[in-house]
Every structure is written in structure tokens, then in C-alpha cells.
Amino acid sequence: MSLFWVGLGLTAAAPVLCSKRYRLHGPAWMYSLGCGAAVLGPYILLCTFLDVATLLAAAAIIGVPFWGYERYRAAKGQQHYTQGIMGYMVELTPVAVFLLLFRSFVAEPYLVPSSSMRPTLEVGSVVVVDKFSYGVRLPFVSKPISHGGAPKFGDVLVFRFPLDPAKPYIKRVVGVPGDNITYQSGVLSVNCAPAVREMEMPYDYEDEASGKLKHATYTLERIQGLQIGTLQDTDSSDFGVNTDFPAIPGCERNVSGISCVVPKGSYFVLGDNRSNSLDSRYWGFVTDKEIIGRAIFDINIDNGSLQFSRLSR
């Protein structure tokens, strides 16, 4: 079930449960449940259309003065100023503040929207994004306020899509500043050292856009001391000079692929699903200011147990 339908269901149930009837005659838990749904339902609905950080920041900015005023009235022995749904929203303000700070400076979840990172990450996978390893950033400010490490080869990176910063993307770093990257006829090379294919086997998956079964080849590659599982789509051909995307400064396209020198403060990224990924081969480099964080864990529920798979070193 999508978040939209969860939010819609909670919003629809709220007027019935958070009503005067249950407030006066009980049961009290029903009234509390309804008022909670009246707060969470619209929030979840808005999360399907707006950035979560923006919603949390708005809730904190609006709620903190009311929350402080309620604490003042409580200290004076006075009744609550806000009642019902508004009262619940005000009481949840510390939660919004905590989540905003935690998501901004520690970690945040990211829901994988496409098959571009298969076989490593499937559609709907939830990953934990580390927000401090590359430097702490203030909410809505792209420049780091503290220095951290730099992305390394093989790191799984979450970043703002350079052509549409409102969209977060997830790809793997295969080129750091100064690297010479080539991707020719489906083979990745870093500083003239090509990836070595150690194993190949069939891999089928359902394409999320068309709903059709796609046939690919799972390939275990070794490059720069790492083993990376990738997919090569047997029904696709590599792009070259015929791509519709504009020229990339520092890169040269030819009939079989692309060659780039990664500039300072930038990174070359690829999806592990090499033939079904919109990445640096098409639109260019990810810069420092576009980085959101490093994906460190993939969270899965298998047979009722929570499992964590490490993504980045």
C-alpha cells in the first residue's frame, strides 16, 4: 500500500474518531487515536508531494511558539490554550524538531524509486543515508558547515539531481577528482584499468515503468580492488554520440561510449544497472554542493527479522 493511500485513509477516519462524541463520552483511546490520525494523515499525504524536511521545518517554526506558550500556561496552572487536533499538533512539536535535527545532521531514510541500482538495490528498498561523513550541512543550505571526508570510489551516493535539484538520486561513485573515466562498449575503466568480469549469469526483473519482464545479465566486476554486482541489459545498446543530452565539459563522446576527466570538487557516478540508469554518462558530474549523504545500509525485512546490508565502505 502506498503512503498516499495510508495518508488518505487516516485523514478520512480522523473526523469520525476525533469528534465531540468520543471526547465527551469516550472511549478516550478512540478520541486520541482519531486526533493522532488527523495530524499524521495530512502529514503523510503532503509527504507524497513535498519535501519532508520542508514539512518538518514548517511544523517546527509554527509549533514551537505555541508549545512554549502551553508550557508557560501549565507552569501557571492554567488550562491548555489549544484543544483537540490543534492541541495534538502542538504537543507533537518536539517530535518534529527532533526529526528535523536528526535528518539534517545524523541520518535519514531514502526510498529507492527505480531499478537503476539493481542488483544492489531494488525498487522500494529503504536505505539509511549518513549525513555527517562528508561534512555537516544546515537544512536547506548546500555548503557544508564542517569538514568531513570526501566520497571514495565505490561509495553509494545520494545527491540532488543536477538537472532538477528537487529530486534526490542514488548512484555509485566510480570517479573522483583527477580520475580518467571511460565507459566504452559496456566496459568501465578507471585510469586505464578496465573492470574485470569474474562471473556472469541471467537476471530477470520487472521494469517499474512498463510492468514488463526485462532480461539482463548479472555481472560480478572487480575494479579498484572492489567487487561490484552490475547488470547489462541484453536488449539495450550503449549510448554514444547520438544521445540527446548536451555536451559535458571535460568529457568526449564517441560512437561506443564516453571518456571523461573528473574535475575538482566533482564525482562521476553510475547506476549498477548499467543499461537502465540515467547517470553521469548522460548529464555530467555530481558536485560537492549537490551531495546529500552516503548510503550506508540497505534495510530489509526477511522472515519477520530486520536485516541490514552494508552498501558503502
What pLDDT is recorded for position 176?
96
- pLDDT, one tens digit per residue, over 30-74 is 878 888 888 888 877 877 777 788 888 888 999 999 999 999 999
Question: 104, 131, 171, 266: which one is catalytic?
Answer: 171
More confident residue, 281 or 144: 281
Which grid coordinates are listed for 236?
539495450
* 259 annotated active-site: no
Weakest-pLDDT range from 99-103, 125-129, 296-300:
296-300
What pLDDT is recorded for position 273?
93
Find the mean pLDDT for residues 107-126.
90
Question: 104, 116, 280, 312: which one is catalytic?
Answer: 116
* 116 annotated active-site: yes
All structural domains of the chain with their residue ranges? 3-105, 107-310
φ, ψ of residue 160 in degrees (nearest 5): -85, 125
Please state at what angle helix 52-75 crosses helix 28-47, rounded to 10 degrees: 150
Q: 228: which strand partners? A: 221
What pLDDT is recorded for position 264?
95
Considering the segment(s) 107-310 as one domain, its CATH architecture is: Ribbon (2.10)
Cα distances (angstroms) measured from residue 188 to each of 13, 56, 258, 269 = 53, 41, 10, 11
DSSP 98-118: HHHHHHHHTEEEEE--SSTTT
What pLDDT is recorded for position 86?
84
- pLDDT, one tens digit per residue, over 178-227 is 999 999 888 999 999 999 999 999 999 888 777 888 888 999 999 999 99
Residue 27 CB partners (closer than 8 Å, separation 6+): none
What pLDDT is recorded for position 286?
96
More confident residue, 240 or 4: 4
Indicate the pTM of the whole model. Answer: 0.82
- Beta strands (DSSP E) in 176-237 are 180-184, 187-190, 193-194, 196-206, 213-223, 226-233
